[in-house]
Amino acid sequence: MKNLTVLSAALLGFAFCGTAVAKTSITVWEDLNKASSLEQAAKDFEKEYDCKVVLVEKDSIKQFKEVQKLSKNGMSLPDAFILISNKVNEAINKKVISDISVMNTEKTKFLPASVTPFTVNNKTYAIPRSIESLVIFYNKDIIKEPIDTMAGYEALAKERQKQGKYGLIGKLDNLYYSYGFLSAYGSYIFGINTDGTYNTDDIGLNNDGAIKGTKLVADYTRNYIPKTALDEKNGLNVIDDMFISGQAAAVINGPWVLNKYKQSGQNFAVGTLPKLSNGMRIAPFFGVKGYAITKKSKNKDLAEKFLVYASQPRYAMIRYQKSAELPPVKELLANPLIIQDDIATAISNQAANAINMPSVPEMEDVWECMEEALDEAIANEKADIKAILDKAVKDIKD
pLDDT digits (tens, 9 = 90+) for 345-362: 888 888 888 898 888 888
* Entry pTM: 0.83
pLDDT at residue 232 tops 90: no
Give domain 24-132+287-355's CATH superfamily: Periplasmic binding protein-like II (3.40.190.10)
Query: In this predicted model, which residue has the larger pLDDT, 195 or 226?
Result: 226
What local confidence, expressed as pLDDT, does residue 1 receive?
46
What local confidence, expressed as pLDDT, does residue 114 receive?
92
Residue 18: pLDDT band (50, 70, 90) is very low
- The predicted-structure confidence for 311-340, as pLDDT tens digits, reads as follows 999 999 999 999 889 999 999 999 999 999
Residue 220: pLDDT band (50, 70, 90) is very high
Mean pLDDT computed over 55-61 = 96
Domain coordinates in residue numbering, the chain: 24-132+287-355, 134-286+357-397
The answer to whether the beta carbons of residues 81 and 28 sit under 8 Å apart is yes
Give me the sign of the Cα torsion angle 199, 86, 132, 320. Answer: positive
What local confidence, expressed as pLDDT, does residue 305 receive?
97
Name the 3-class secondary structure at 76: coil
- The predicted-structure confidence for 156-182, as pLDDT tens digits, reads as follows 999 999 999 999 999 999 999 999 999
- The predicted-structure confidence for 258-316, as pLDDT tens digits, reads as follows 889 999 999 999 999 999 999 999 999 988 999 999 999 999 999 999 999 999 999 99
CATH code, residues 134-286+357-397: 3.40.190.10
- Count Cβ atoms below 10 Å from residue 246 Cβ, excluding itself: 13
Q: Do domains 24-132+287-355 and 134-286+357-397 have the same CATH topology?
A: yes
Return all residues near 157 (Cβ < 8 A) that are at least 6 apart.
166, 167, 168, 220, 223, 224
